[in-house]
Structures are given as structure tokens and as C-alpha cells.
Amino acid sequence: MNLSKEIEGVVIPKDKVVTVQPSMNLDDALKTLIDSKYSAVPVVNDKGLYVGTVSKTNILSLVTHGKTVHYHHLKDRFVYDASTELIPSLPIDSTFKQLMSHMITHPFITLVGEDSQFYGIATRQLVLKQVMNQSE
């Protein structure tokens, strides 16, 4: 499977994407999210496979009881407890139209190769820039 020529201009490759590992504790994951200024990032295991997405909301939901946030629980819980597949993944040979259809409701799309191998992401911002450039 090769990267589609249609979407190559909107892909941020994996080595430039902020990710977390499933075994990372939630304290470190939340710090990573805050430092990166992202609300969600892909979760990639030690084999390079995309296994989900974790967000600030997921993390805080796990350590909130009623109206009280128990921050001391962050070091005892792990990303695999909080990750979801909230952000869809698409194969790297997807068309621009397929990518666009997911951008309506998601800030980024995770792109995967064979066997869910993490390739990178496409962001709504890059997709919109590409659309604007094509319309000029």
C-alpha cells in the first residue's frame, strides 16, 4: 500500500506527529497534551501500530468523580485506560474525497498502512489550505 498522490500534500509524517504510548501514565500523557497544545493525539504502541486516540477530555473523565478532579490518580492510570477510537483512521491510499468526508467532524485523521502501521495524520487545517489553493 502506497501513499495516495491525492493526499500526500496534507499528510504530516509520523516522525513529526506528537504521539503517546498505551503504557504511558496519564500524568505524563496529560503533560504531553498540554505541552503540545493539542486536545488529542494518536496512541501508537511500541511496534508502531495505531491503537487509538487519547484526549484531555478522556483523561479528565477517568479521574473526575462528581465535580471533583482527583489529579493524584493520574500517575496510577494509563493511556490504554483512556484511549478510544474517537478519531477515525483511514488507509494511506485513501482519496482526497474520503479524507474530506471525515474532516467535517474531526480535527485530524490518522493514516495507517498495512496492519494498522501508523503512517501519520492529516489535519483539517492542511486539508482546508489545499482546498483553498485548488480553488484559486
Question: Greatest CA separation found in the chain?
Answer: 52
Q: In this predicted model, what pLDDT tens digit does every residue of 24-33 receive, in sequence order?
A: 999 999 999 9
In a 10 Å sphere around its CB, with 0-12 CB exposed, 13-18 middle and 19+ buried, how is residue 83 labelled? buried
- pLDDT string in tens for the chain (136-residue length): 676 788 888 999 999 999 999 999 999 999 999 999 999 999 999 999 999 999 999 898 888 877 777 888 899 989 998 888 778 899 999 998 899 888 888 889 999 998 899 999 999 888 888 877 876 6
CA dist 23 → 29, 43, 51, 82 (Å): 10, 10, 12, 11
* Count of CB atoms situated within 10 Å of the CB of 112: 20
pTM of the full structure: 0.87
pLDDT at position 104: 86
CA dist 118 → 2, 45, 135 (Å): 13, 9, 31
Return d(Cα 33, Cα 37) in angstroms, integer: 6
pLDDT at position 20: 97
Domains in the chain (CATH in brackets) are: 8-135 (3.10.580.10)
